[in-house]
Amino acid sequence: MSSSLMSNLIQNQAKKFGNRVALKYKNYETGNWDTVSWNMFADIVSSVSNALLELGVDIQENIGVFSQNKPECLYVDFGAYGIRAVTIPFYATSSETQVHYMLTDASIRYMFVGEQLQYDVLSKVMALGTNIRKIVVFDRSVKLDPRDRVSIYFDDFLKLGEDRKHQEEVDKRTAESHSMDIANILYTSGTTGESKGVLLHHICYESALAAHHQRFPELGPNDVVMNFLPYTHVFERGWTYWCISEGCTLAVNLRPQEIQQTLREVHPSCMCSVPRFWEKVYHGVQDLINTSSGMKKKLLLEAIEVGKNHNLGYLCHGAKPPVWLHLRYKFFEKTVYSLLRKRLGLENGRFFPTAGAAIPPAVQEFILSVGINMVAGYGLTESLATVSCEEEFDHVIGSVGRVMPHMQVRIGENNEILLKGDSITRGYYKKEAITKAAFTEDGWFRTGDAGYLKDGHLFLTERIKDLFKTSNGKYIAPQSIESKLVVDRYIDQITIIADQRKFVSALIVPNYALVEMYAQQKGIEYASMAELLKNEQIKQLYTNHIDTLQQQFAHYEQIKRFTLLPEPFSLERGELTNTLKIKRSVVAKNYAEEIAAMYQE
């Protein structure tokens, strides 16, 4: 049996690509993007493998990585795979309770932390009692607690492996590594219930990487790929490993809130992201259109219309656009689309996979109309991301693309999407009953998502567990209502309330800047945001916008009442998961009074 693909992937790429750039990351002291060659990447990975053995890491032992995206996260992952260890990524924003649960559940002895925030959280958790023997801190500027006897900095950790005295053992373990070794345990952030550790074996990655290479063979060493989502997120993790296996250069984005700036510095050709990123782009352009006048406004609106006809009306149906339309498109390519892409830092953009939530159709249409190749897809942590995805000029608005070559899909009871394939998890860590319940009798994985197949494309209809039943017995799919309304420029976040209620209501986080602008135009005076949002003119503004957007819904699906919230949903209050999905149960509890008020007669 040959060793697993992942255990020596970086070493093999170094033989192929040598001194070409493998990674780049922003040096916040100089403001420059520093580079790491494939040779250097491989060298550091070897040092990590040796240093882990020096610490006494066993075969298939669990190691924790609690950090923002940093090159060190990748060094530790591949260094661990080389000695058949398992890495468990923690979200950089994880709370003390989450960290303590994962540390205990996975019996972690060795932890790698990124910055001061993660170190401080871990220090507090240590006081509760853990198995931790050693903490390795990536960032040299982190101030260690003077009483801390277990922490060292990453560069000192690397020195433990520099002399390569364990290289023979590293080589032996690499040679003995195999497809059924566990690579990662990914704890789901869980919009429902307790976090579960999803087991991802090496075979999951091997199967997924081969399938992606088959479907998208053009990704390669000339691509610069922005790593924007956290490596903890299965989508970014699977995508990053695929890009590494194709020899791309990775640009590691440390601070998610600065992505707009880093895109303009790096000009990537590819980036995976969630719909929220593109929603913000869409809103930005809508604001530009709404604040423009005369010729400029006319030009922008016409450009979007021409792009829609050209790309979605013809190219996506495999048809050739008429000459006059193609010439108009070429004109707008030079005058509008290219300038817009440049403004975003996407002028070299080729390929932008997007998944993780429903993409509002208006957003998808707009992005494709201006010539950005956003590729919609669908996947889960349990399937190692991609189950299905679109291909270039194979876009059907509302679909999540065609099923990947390594994946089988069956539509089961209640239209549930069922999956089979080598990239599917073998189960949840130490949770036999939950694992058993996750599969059908004949071995298909239950996704919990309802959908259907049409002309080779997969469509999602709702999340089965998320279906609300009103007290009148009508079923409501909250996500489909939310994705229609979140495209409104005055709405930043929205969550639908309907379960066991007489009618549908909503909690809305407004776009505060736009509300303030509107108040200024209308001469509305106010002392605070809370006061402004209670103003009748503001409420009427939202009523008008909501009524326009929900005309297409059945009467029982329409929002009858809503509350405008003076502050956004937050991670700190537990209202959002680490992937920024809204936790309905927590929101319902935190806003119980506001919700009750909407249902008073």
pLDDT digits (tens, 9 = 90+) for 67-77: 999 999 999 99
For 235, residues 6+ apart whose C-beta sits below 8 A from its C-beta are 229, 272, 274, 353, 355, 356, 379, 385
In the chain the domains, ranked by start, together with CATH numbers, are: 5-178+216-271 (3.40.50.12780), 275-422+431-464 (2.30.38.10), 467-598 (3.30.300.30)
Q: How far is residue 513's CA from residue 533's CA, in Å, rounded to a whole number?
A: 12
Tell me what pLDDT residue 48 has: 98
Tell me what pLDDT residue 193 has: 56
- Strand 249-252 relative to strand 224-227: parallel, antiparallel, unpaired? parallel
Q: How far is residue 385's CA from residue 355's CA, in Å, rounded to a whole number?
A: 9
Q: How far is residue 201's CA from residue 538's CA, in Å, rounded to a whole number?
A: 53
Tell me what pLDDT residue 190 has: 56
Confidence category of residue 189, pLDDT binned at 50, 70, 90: low
Q: How far is residue 512's CA from residue 171's CA, in Å, rounded to a whole number?
A: 57
| Type of residue at 439 | F
Tell me what pLDDT residue 1 has: 41
Mean pLDDT score, 442-453: 95
pLDDT digits (tens, 9 = 90+) for 31-52: 999 999 999 999 999 999 999 9
Q: Which residue, among 220, 277, 229, has the nearest Cα to 253 in the 3D structure?
A: 229
pLDDT digits (tens, 9 = 90+) for 369-383: 999 999 999 999 999
* H-state helical runs in 8-111: 9-17, 38-55, 71-82, 96-105
Mean per-residue pLDDT over the chain, rounded? 93
Confidence category of residue 420, pLDDT binned at 50, 70, 90: very high
Q: How far is CA 57 from CA 65, 81, 198, 260, 343, in A?
A: 15, 12, 22, 40, 48
Q: How far is residue 539's CA from residue 37's CA, in Å, rounded to a whole number?
A: 56
At residue 90, φ and ψ (nearest 5 deg) are -110, 140
- Judge whether 434 and 196 are in contact, CB under 8 Å: yes
Tell me what pLDDT residue 94 has: 86
| Type of residue at 68 | Q
Exposed, middle or buried: residue 478 (CB in 10 Å: 0-12, 13-18, 19+)? Answer: buried
pLDDT digits (tens, 9 = 90+) for 361-411: 899 999 999 999 999 999 999 999 999 999 888 889 889 999 999 999 999
Q: How far is CA 488 from CA 256, 355, 417, 482, 555, in A?
A: 24, 20, 30, 11, 20
pLDDT digits (tens, 9 = 90+) for 329-346: 999 999 999 999 999 999
Cα three-residue angle 191-192-198, rounded to 5 degrees: 85
- Judge whether 213 and 246 are in contact, CB under 8 Å: yes
- Judge whether 422 and 205 are in contact, CB under 8 Å: no
Q: How far is CA 163 from CA 14, 48, 173, 194, 407, in A?
A: 20, 11, 18, 43, 44
SS3 category, 501: coil
- Judge whether 212 and 206 are in contact, CB under 8 Å: no
Mean pLDDT score, 219-235: 95
For residue 561, the cross-strand partners are: 505
Position of tokens 């976040």? Answer: 493
Tell me what pLDDT residue 476 has: 86
Q: How far is CA 327 from CA 118, 315, 317, 338, 341, in A?
A: 54, 14, 19, 15, 20
- Is residue 578 over pLDDT 80? no
Query: Helix, strand, coil: what percent of the chain each, to 5?
Result: 45, 20, 35
In the sheet that 134-137 helps form, which strands lie side by side, from edge to edge? 151-153, 134-137, 110-113, 62-66, 86-90, 182-187, 197-201
- Judge whether 47 and 73 are in contact, CB under 8 Å: no
Position of tokens 């792009």? Answer: 307
SS3 category, 170: helix
pLDDT digits (tens, 9 = 90+) for 141-184: 999 999 999 999 999 999 999 999 999 999 999 999 999 999 99
- Of 180 and 556, which is predicted with more confidence? 180
Q: How many helices (H) and strands (E) does the chain have?
A: 22, 25
Mean pLDDT score, 3-17: 93
Confidence category of residue 587, pLDDT binned at 50, 70, 90: very high
Can you say whether the dihedral through the CA atoms of 349, 350, 351, 357 is positive or negative?
Answer: positive
